[in-house]
Amino acid sequence: MAFNWFKLSSPASFYPVAGALIPWFAIGAAILAAIGLWLGFGVAPTDFQQGEVYRIIFIHVPSAWLSMFLYVVMAFWGALALGFGTRLSGMMAQAIAPTGALMTFIALWTGSLWGRPTWGTYWAWDARMTSELILLFLYLGIIALRQAIGDPRRADRACAVLSIVGVVNIPIIYFSVKWWNTLHQGASVKLTGSSMETTMLAGMLVMSFAFWFYSIAAVLARLRAIVLERERDAAWVAGLPEVRAAAGGPG
């Protein structure tokens, strides 16, 4: 068991595993999204206060969850890279950051489009929206830091330190924004009544799984690209069929 994990943690052995997993997660994401959208648009009833526009939550809430979840996962892999110097962990953290930033962007975009008809404004200083914006800055900071550092190993470790500091800070940031928000009686949106329709909840959960599967597929695909970039002069990379095909072609 332990030996297997050790073997898997080398980029060379994980590369084909990731390649085999990607189609399953991609197909899974597509099927789950189809079910989720059917639940969200076909089954769930119209909200009698907000009308149809609440249907944005089927992408807003999952992307917001994923944006936070992915940050924690990224920090986890970063910590492993920092603690044990495992190369694959650093690559994993590197692969997660752009998808996490995109999820944060989707959450902000959809939140603002939901807010316009609901609050009458695209942007409200709501605690969750504000925290999400700061989360986007944190993601962009990590991506920018990696861009600025040329050396991949230094980048792995520096980004790990930054993401760990970020993980400690995110709850504090959220709490502080909420604190500030209550003091100033800011806006906040809730669905009608305390109990959400079961079909709405089901749709949201299924869509969350769809986003989750999609993120895994996207991260693994990016991971494969990163492995190729960083192990470019390893013998096993030279032997890969896709690399040989690229060598045969022009350029």
Partner 1 sequence: MGGEALPTVAAATHATGDGAIAGVRWALARDLKLAFRSRAELGVQLLFYVIVVTLFPLATTPERNLLSTMGPGVLWVAALLASLLSLPRLFATDHADGTLEQIALSPYALEALVSGKILAHWLTTGLPVVLLAPLLGQQYYMEGESLTVLTTGLLIGTPILSLLGAIGAALTLGLRGGGGLLALLILPLYVPVLIFGAGAVDAVRAGLGATANLSLLGAGLALAVVGAPFAAAAAVRIALD
Partner 2 sequence: MLEAQNLAARRGYAELFRNLDFRVASGSALVVTGPNGTGKTTLLRMLAGLSAPSDGEIRWNGRPVAPFSPELRSVVAYAGHLPALKDELTTEENLIALVELSGARANAGEIDSALDSVALSRRRSLHARVLSAGQRRRIGLARLILSRRPLWILDEPVTALDAAGAALLARLVHDHLDRGGIAVAATHQSLGLEPSRVQSLVLGETVPA
Partner 3 sequence: MNHWHFILGAYGVTLLVVVVEVLAVRARRRAAARTAAASAPAPGARPGTSVRGA
Residues engaged in binding partner 1 (CB under 8 A): 82, 134, 137-138, 140-141, 144-145, 148-149, 153-154, 157-158, 161-162, 164-166, 168-169, 172-173, 175-177, 179-180, 183-184
Residue 98 touches partner 2, criterion: CB under 8 A: no
Partner whose footprint covers residue 235, from partner 1, partner 2, partner 3, none (CB < 5 to 8 Å by kind): partner 3
Contact residue for partner 2 among 85, 116, 182, 236 (CB under 8 A):
85
Tokens 């190993």 map to which residue?
153
Cβ distance to partner 2 smaller for residue 141 or 152? 152
Phi and psi dihedrals of 51, rounded to 5?
Answer: 75, -145
Among partner 1, partner 3, partner 2, none, residue 43 binds (CB under 5-8 Å by kind): none
Q: What is the dihedral of CA 118, 123, 124, 125, to 10 degrees?
A: 160
Hey, is 44 helix, strand or coil? Answer: coil
Compute CA distances 23 → 32, 100, 213, 244, 251, whole Å: 14, 20, 10, 22, 29
Please, is 14 exposed, middle or buried when counting C-beta atoms within 10 Å of its C-beta (0-12, 13-18, 19+)?
Answer: buried
CA 103 to CA 112: how far, in whole Å? 14
List of residues contacting partner 3 (CB under 8 A): 50-53, 55-56, 59-60, 63, 98-99, 102, 105-106, 109-110, 113-114, 116-117, 214, 218, 221-222, 224-226, 228-229, 231-233, 235, 237-238, 240, 242-247, 249, 251
